[in-house]
């Protein structure tokens, strides 16, 4: 097992529905620890950078509208195999296809309004964490 840190973004729907604490508690149950957490609003430049691989798709304007609609919470979470485990806990992107018991299956609405973003691998996690946190905003235990 590898000790890793991943980035999770609580999307505007998680924040507006006041579900961030509920979801965070699920993430902490396996023993994962918070290295950094903060609330922010995307601007267009940051959004385009974060979702750069999606900007050319026809659905991107709707994703952009949603992600700019309210604040998000950025979370750097650390633990053994945290990336794989968190992605399994979140479930597939389309909340309508996510099984009950997953974050998206329990709380998401659709393919776009789906509670959380989570890094898909160690390399993307490293890039994404640097995008949202400076070194002095990350803490070791």
Residue 126 belongs to domain with CATH number: 3.30.70.141
Nearest to 30 by CA among 72, 83, 80: 80
C-alpha span between 1 and 124 (Å, rounded) = 18
In a domain, 139, yes or no: no
In a domain, 34, yes or no: yes
Domain range enclosing 113: 3-133
In a domain, 128, yes or no: yes
Q: Is 117 a catalytic residue?
A: yes
Q: What is the pLDDT of residues 3-53, one digit of tens each?
A: 999 999 999 999 999 999 999 999 999 999 999 999 999 999 999 999 999
In a domain, 140, yes or no: no
Q: What is the pLDDT of residues 103-119, one digit of tens each?
A: 999 999 999 999 999 99
Domains contained in the chain, number: 1
The reported pTM is 0.95
Catalytic residue (one of 76, 117, 118, 129): 117
């Amino acid at each position: 097992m590898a000790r890793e840190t991943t980035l999770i973004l609580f999307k505007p729907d998680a924040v507006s529905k006041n579900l961030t604490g509920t979801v965070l508690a699920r993430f902490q149950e396996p023993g994962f620890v918070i290295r950094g957490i903060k609330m922010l609003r995307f601007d267009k430049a940051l959004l385009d950078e974060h979702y750069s691989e999606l900007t050319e798709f026809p659905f991107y304007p709707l994703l952009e509208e949603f992600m700019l609609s309210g604040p998000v919470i950025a979370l750097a979470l650390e633990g053994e195999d945290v990336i794989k485990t968190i992605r399994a806990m979140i479930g597939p992107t389309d909340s309508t296809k996510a099984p009950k018991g997953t974050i998206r299956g329990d709380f998401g609405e659709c393919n776009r309004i789906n509670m959380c973003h989570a890094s898909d691998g160690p390399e993307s996690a490293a890039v994404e964490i640097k995008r949202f946190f400076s070194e002095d905003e990350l803490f070791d235990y």
